[in-house]
Chains A and B, each alone.
Chain A
Amino acid sequence: MTTRWFGEPVRRNEDPRFLTGEGTYVDDIHPPGTLQAAVLRSPIAHANITKIDVCAARALEGVVAVWTWEDLGDVFRPSPMSVPHESLTHPKTQYPLARDKVNYVGEPIAFVVAHDRYIAEDACDVIEVDFEPLPAVVDLEAAVAPDAILVHDDVPGNVAATLTQQVGDPDRAFAEADHVFTARLYLERGAGQPMETRAVLAQWDELEHVLTVWDTTQAPLSIRNGLAVLLGLPENGVRVVAPDVGGGFGTKIMMFYAEEVLVPLAAYKLRRPVKWVEDRREHLIASNHERGQLHESAIALRADGTILGVRDTFLHDTGAYTPYGIVVPIVTSTQLPGPYRIPNYFSESRTVYTNKVPVSPYRGAGRPHGVFVMERLIDLAAREMGMDRAEIRFKNFIAPDEFPYDVGLTFQDGAPTRYDSGNYQAGLAKVLSHIDYEGFPAYQARMRDEGRFIGLGMASYVEGTGIGPYEGAHVRVDGTAQKVVVATCVGTQGQGHETSFAQIVADELGIRPDQVEITTGDSRSMNWGSGTYASRSAVVTGNAVGVSARAVRAKAATIAAELFEANPADIEFENERVFVNGSPEYGLPLWDVAIVANPIRYAYGSQAAKAIAMRKQRPGPPLPDGDDPGLEARKYFSPAQAAFASGNHAAIVEVDPETGIVTILRYVAVHDCGRVINPMIVEGQVHGGVAQGIGGSFYERMVYTPEGQPLSTTFMDYLIPTAMEIPSIEVDHIETPSPLNPLGIKGAGEAGVIPVPALMAQALEDALSPWKVRVTELPLNPGEIRALVRAGIDPEHVNA
């Protein structure tokens, strides 16, 4: 029986180094003579700069360089608009350093390179900048008011883009509906906040004429390509490495963050290694945020609860720039319909400039917002129409036999939003059974009798994952080292790629996952690729690894078949051996086949030497036409469209109406990401996602004053939930394999976070139903929940 690794909870290859302190994060790399950089950032949200004086900073002992925009030469240009869109009529990307105006607190103004970070920060302290403050645009609705102050003088109304999408005839649907309900819904700003902040180290190699850049980026090849253009170097003159990266969650993908230009430029110009490591305050005020949308929405239904149509118009806060185009609002508008059949749908988003940190995708990337709106509308309809909230969902789910199902919208990759497979009924039924939905009302009543207020929430979502254009993998059997070496160029930030990709290879080649060494995020090992985002690495790179390993297997089978005069189809791979099916004695270690595969080889092992001797002399050249030496292959996988994962979550929460404190008593997630490579890893992804969703529901909030001053500037203000707030999360799976890729997988990285705010809103309302509390925005802290209770109506709890 062949061991199959795919689907097993294989322990991770990467763990031993992380557990012993031997991981290599960017700040752990410190070439001799490395200089350290610091960035002077704007303390004002909106201002003209009238003067920058760096004399005192330059004079400081230990300071090597102090740069303002004037020192940047040709590099002083705006970052490329990496995701253009026809609706994005007024895009704005950032310059590496501000010239005559700043548009948010945290915007870089000057860049200091010194012998150490302490001195670099001393130098920042003595740079003098004169500002002429301008009124700031902070509130979303104020930003689009007729007399609004403009963030950018040449962007009328502060609107970067207006995007509309429509399916069917929403006007007619609303006119003919038996019921129409409307809601105004808001999700506040939040951010990924990986435990490792961003960092960049660059070193110019005078011998090789290569600029090596170690960067916490999720997309090293994109950075490599951009830097080569910007610095006028050939592509192979820039090497970008994303080594071990301490979490990303979307925040670490940008083209470019200013420091990703300034640090390489400094290393190139100064001919010294230069390092910049962001501190947490910088990360909170100057690395990209997300969430931040205000929706006005409506749902139209027939009397029996059938959804006829949904209308949604929303304002999307993009901050001061649009570095990531309008990806987030596109995803919101296309993923809002979720698992429901919505024949008539109208969505209009306005992407609005404000004097705040730019916005780019954070785990979930627009979906938590859309799902919040859709689920809130369904909850509203169910309540007003007196329907059971599960029943209305089952009634409107797309049926299992309707796939592929075309939603009628254009997804973020420009392809149709066409669901490839799924079974939303089975998912919801499973989660409701786990949480005992049927028994809940009795439980709730019993608890109420004890003076405890508990509520149940459920939410469902669909997530487009694994978009193109493509990723590649290079798989090579190293016969001498007796391992398989795999190169990919997606960055990895904790997802366990070194293990799940190894499982795929191990199955193909009949070896163990710990015999497979995966390289991620090094532009030198793969020249083409895109990056880790949109829950795509397992889908796109995983399948590239799979097809490459399969090609290696085919080649090894051909060689073995030739040696043993057998049919390649009869060659088996097991326990590191390649052999003729049914005749294990006719076989060789895989490692020896690799040695045989090279016409120029030095075989010391007796078996390998024997095998080489066995290989018959063929006519023609030693390396036949069309053949390559060695046991290796480099293949790419390019999906036609996204693979649509889905999930159904449910939770039971307890709310203390006196204090507003919420305790999550149970949380169950039923998840469908197609075929699961490693359930341990997938469940870990779901746990972490849910935890971030809980943070975004109750704790995490980027607060700005009306003047645009960020107040969430430490972890004492921006509250990351701890082990005391996050419950144990029960995870179960259903598997509807994707027909769109050979492995049948869908992405899982973002999934956990998506339905949490929607679910928590419902659970809060359920728990606080005696007060008829309505939840229309999140996060809500205890004080705000308490305020909702006080404002509520409750004949029985007049003193509450």
Chain B
Amino acid sequence: MIVTERAVSVSVNGATYARTIPVRLLLSDFIRNELGLTGTHLGCEHGVCGCCTILLDGQAVRSCLMFAVQADGHELITVEGLAPAPGQLHPLQEAFRQEHALQCGYCTPGFLTTLIPFLESNRDPSELEIRQALSGNLCRCTGYQNIVKAVQRAAREMRTVEPGR
């Protein structure tokens, strides 16, 4: 008999969720529809636009290119899990606001989640490195330059906040 459902247990933003789900359910649909975390957006569902990017064990991945069952036992972070506390913003989020790095906001969660591991691995990136890091995410509103400026500002802020790292 073909298995059509499977039990999974996934940690998302620090909370553990156990569900029995169809095996064909995309991870993106699982996050949005099963868990109600609608900050993760779908722009193309074929892995190009990057809107659905989340962190899986700290790595930026496209949740539309994974089945939810593949996330079984892994730790996920979505855009809802970036701010240190409700009503506060992560330095990267604050930099996006200061530099007007978002307009419609639809692609923004994917940019933020893409950039978190990038800034962790490169604390003082050049403009070209930033642009390369952004090149897997599409934004139709900003023309990217304010996103680049936001990353530069966030890198500065994050170096000041954690000088010892």
Contact status B46-A714, CB under 8 Å: yes
B106 touching A246 by the CB < 8 A rule?
yes
Are A195 and B104 within 8 A (Cβ)? yes
Map CB proximity to B onto A1-27 as digits: 1 under 8 Å, 0 otherwise.
000000001011011111111111101
Contact: B102 with A15, CB < 8 Å? Answer: yes
**Interface readout for B85-110 with A: 1 if CB under 8 Å, 0 if not?**
00001000100111010111111110
Q: Which of B48, B51, B83, B112 has the most CB of A within 10 A?
A: B48
Q: How far apart are the CA atoms of A24 and B103 in the complex, in Å?
A: 14
Cβ contacts under 8 Å, A197 to chain B: 43
Interface of B is mostly: loop
Give the one of B25, B32, B46, B105 with max A CB within 10 A: B105
Q: Which residues of A lie under 8 Å from residue B109 when comparing CB positions?
A: 21
| Residue A151 lies at the interface, judged by CB distance under 8 Å to chain B | no
Contact check, B146 vs A687: say whether CB atoms are below 8 A apart.
Answer: yes
Q: Which residues of A contact B141 (CB under 8 A)?
A: 195, 247, 494, 684, 688
A195-B51, A246-B106, A726-B145 are known contacts. Are A20 and B140 too (CB-CB below 8 A)? no
B118 within 8 A of A: no
Q: 8 interchain pairs (CB within 8 A)?
A: A21-B39, A21-B78, A27-B42, A195-B43, A247-B140, A680-B100, A687-B143, A726-B145
Are B145's CB and A19's CB within 8 A?
A: no
User: Is B62 engaged at the interface, CB distance under 8 Å to the other chain?
Assistant: no
B106 & A723 in contact (Cβ 8 Å cutoff): no
A222 cross-chain contacts in B, Cβ below 8 A: none
Q: In this assembly, does B63 line the interface, its C-beta being within 8 Å of a C-beta of chain A?
A: no
Q: Cβ of A249 < 8 Å from any Cβ of B?
A: yes
Instruction: Kindly identify, within residues 7 to 57 of chain A, every residue whose CB is under 8 Å from any CB belonging to chain B.
Output: 9, 11-12, 14-25, 27-28, 30
- Complex Cα distance A645/B121, Å? 45
B-chain residues with CB within 8 Å of residue A681 when the two chains form the complex: 100
**In the complex, A589→B28 CA distance in Å?**
48
B27-49: contact bitstring with A at CB < 8 Å (1 yes, 0 no)? 00000110011111111111011
| Interface size in chain B (residues, C-beta < 8 A) | 57
A236 at the interface (CB under 8 A from B): no
- In chain A, what residue has the closest Cβ to B46? A714
Chain A residues with CB under 8 Å of chain B are: 9, 11-12, 14-25, 27-28, 30, 118, 192-197, 244-247, 249, 277, 279-280, 493-496, 680-681, 683-684, 687-688, 690-692, 714-716, 720, 722-724, 726-729
Question: Is B41 in contact with A729, judged by CB distance below 8 angstroms?
Answer: no
CB atoms of A720 and B140 under 8 A apart: yes
Compute how far the CA of A247 lies from the CA of B146 in the bound complex, rounded to whole angstroms: 17
Whether a CB of chain A sits under 8 angstroms from the CB of B60 is no
A727 to B145, CA, bound (A): 7
- Per the bound structure, the CA–CA distance linking A185 and B24 in Å amounts to 49
State in angstroms the CA–CA spacing of A726 and B42 once bound together. Answer: 23
Most chain B C-beta atoms within 10 Å of own C-beta, residue among A23, A692, A714: A23
The 7 lowest CB-CB distance pairs between A and B, nearest first, are A21-B39, A246-B106, A18-B105, A494-B104, A687-B143, A494-B103, A691-B143
Q: How long is the Cα–Cα vector from A19 to B78 in the complex, in angstroms?
A: 12
